Structure 1
Amino acid sequence: MFSSPSNGGIIPPIARDLHKQHIERVVEEAVASANLGLGDVDAIATTVKPGMPLSLLVGMNHGKHLARTWGKPFIPIHHMEAHALTIRMVTQVEFPFLVLLISGGHCLLAVAQGVHQFLLLGQSLDDAPGEAFDKVTWSRPAETVCLTLWPRRIRFES
């Protein structure tokens, strides 16, 4: 299990272990889905920060290993920039565009002006929304209040 309700979120050592278990298969599937072999790629890139250090280290170590093995340059990528630019892989989005990234540990609002060119408008200083959500839901107070005070007001139908 990647996260645990009893601790309020992702358990870093378990996340690291899951990354280790799946990284080779994920890389193989990604390269195969592009109809390439690892020898066909020009460089190896992995996210290196910010994020959960244990999980990022798995990706970085595997990326560096592949780069050494195949004689390719290794390119460190900023994790949040990678999320911001992923949309350009699946649809045509022209620069500049507004970026709102909300995750467990980081939150930012920026204008993507180009690759590696971001105008930061604001970012979380303390708890990101995901961290706040984990803290609030850890003991299930929101669910308890809703079920106690409004048991029939919200109907979820399948």
Structure 2
Amino acid sequence: MKLLALESSCDELSIAILDNGKILSNIISSQIERHKEFGGVVPELAARLHLENLDWVISSALKKAKIEIDAIDAIAYTQAPGLIGSLIVGKIIAETIAMYLNKPLIPCDHIQGHIYGASIDNEFVYPVLAMVVSGGHTQIELINSVTDYQIIGQTQDDAIGECYDKVARYLGLPYPGGPEIDRLAASGNSQIYPLPIPKTTQEFDFSYSGLKTAAINLINKIKQKGEEVDINNFAASFQDVAVKTIIQKFDLAIKKYQPKTITVAGGVSANSLIRQEIQRLGNENQVPNIIIPKMEYCTDNAAMIGKLAQELINISK
């Protein structure tokens, strides 16, 4: 079965072609440069750029896959969650292609797509415990099958990626701020600027609003004293606490649920410290399968939606 998958939930438009689960192409149109001047994603602009970039994205995907559009057997797309305008554009594109080809349409969940993106090169052994970290989500999911999953903990306010970007903006770093903080932290001392580890009522829930506020307040205090903020040390101090927050919770979840596979998913799974710490947790807890996604599958992409759709197709046979 040849599948065309489409991802358009935020500021990337991506189309992938898969043949019985094998990825033939995965084309991504990133809008980062267009949103940089605003310090973040502008929803209306993102939706408009999806339409502008559609022609070359779909033609590039088909060309790289070396197939014609008429060879497609099904179309998958991201249904939710995401920016409403971007999701609507993607839905209309997918529906139009499906109607033109008279082929079935498979709506997919964006978060589940991220999780299954980690299994593109490594099949899951269930149960799977997944840490989802992105600009809009921070949660732990227990997955028993592609249709049986449970959110056992999630952020009560800001997501980890959102916290990274807001603190980075306050430090004067360019958008997107997460990768910049990760890069600078590699040369910094994480013990220089003390920041609190956020606490929550529920065992596996998260809160990043307090960390964001504490970081901003500390930056203000330093500047009010007429001192300069050492960017590298501050980045390292902030990242140490931000990552420690999720790792401590994930460690507790591993011990409680005893999964056969652990993985990390979402845009922030590209963070070097998170990848390192997830691997360490898996080793220390003797988890049989530790899956860290390839960098190309961390950020939004259509291959992950195609992988999820293929899994849904497989169980329906």
TM-score tier after normalising by the smaller chain length = 0.7 to 0.9
Counterpart amino acid of 1:46? Y
With normalisation by structure 2, the TM-score equals 0.42
Give the one of 128, 139, 144 matched to 1:108.
139
* Structure 2 residue ranges without an equivalent (≥5): 1-32, 174-180, 182-218, 235-317
Matches within 5 A, 1:7-156: 7-140=38-171, 148-150=228-230
Post-superposition Cα deviations, 1:125-151, rounded to whole Å, max 9, x if no partner, equal: 321122222332333268976992437
**Structure 1 residue 120: Cα displacement:** 1.3
**Structure 1 residue 79: Cα displacement:** 0.8
| Separation in structure 2 between the aligned mates of residue 2 and residue 110 of structure 1, nearest angstrom | 33
| Separation in structure 1 between the aligned mates of residue 94 and residue 169 of structure 2, nearest angstrom | 35
Q: The residue matched to 1:10 in structure 2 has which SS?
A: coil
| Separation in structure 2 between the aligned mates of residue 126 and residue 151 of structure 1, nearest angstrom | 26
| Separation in structure 2 between the aligned mates of residue 24 and residue 52 of structure 1, nearest angstrom | 21
Q: Mark the CA change 1:88 to 1:19 in structure 2 (over 3 Å): closer, same or farther.
A: same
| Separation in structure 1 between the aligned mates of residue 138 and residue 55 of structure 2, nearest angstrom | 29
| Separation in structure 2 between the aligned mates of residue 8 and residue 64 of structure 1, nearest angstrom | 32
Post-superposition Cα deviations, 1:26-63, rounded to whole Å, max 9, x if no partner, equal: 23333343333222222111001101112122211110
Higher relative contact order (CA 8 A, sep 6+): 2
Q: Mark the CA change 1:128 to 1:95 in structure 2 (over 3 Å): closer, same or farther.
A: same
**Structure 1 residue 80: Cα displacement:** 0.7
| Separation in structure 1 between the aligned mates of residue 104 and residue 50 of structure 2, nearest angstrom | 22
Counterpart amino acid of 1:49? A
| 8 A contact 2:134–2:159 mirrored in 1 | yes
| 8 A contact 1:2–1:11 mirrored in 2 | no
Counterpart amino acid of 1:148? E
Partner of 2:269: none
Q: Mark the CA change 1:9 to 1:71 in structure 2 (over 3 Å): closer, same or farther.
A: same
Counterpart amino acid of 2:81? P
| Separation in structure 1 between the aligned mates of residue 231 and residue 42 of structure 2, nearest angstrom | 32
RMSD of equivalent CA atoms:
2.9
Aligned residues: 153
- The percentage of counterpart residues that share the same residue type is 29
| Separation in structure 1 between the aligned mates of residue 86 and residue 113 of structure 2, nearest angstrom | 16
With normalisation by structure 1, the TM-score equals 0.78
Counterpart amino acid of 1:112? I
| Separation in structure 2 between the aligned mates of residue 28 and residue 81 of structure 1, nearest angstrom | 27
**Structure 1 residue 153: Cα displacement:** 6.8
| Separation in structure 2 between the aligned mates of residue 87 and residue 151 of structure 1, nearest angstrom | 32
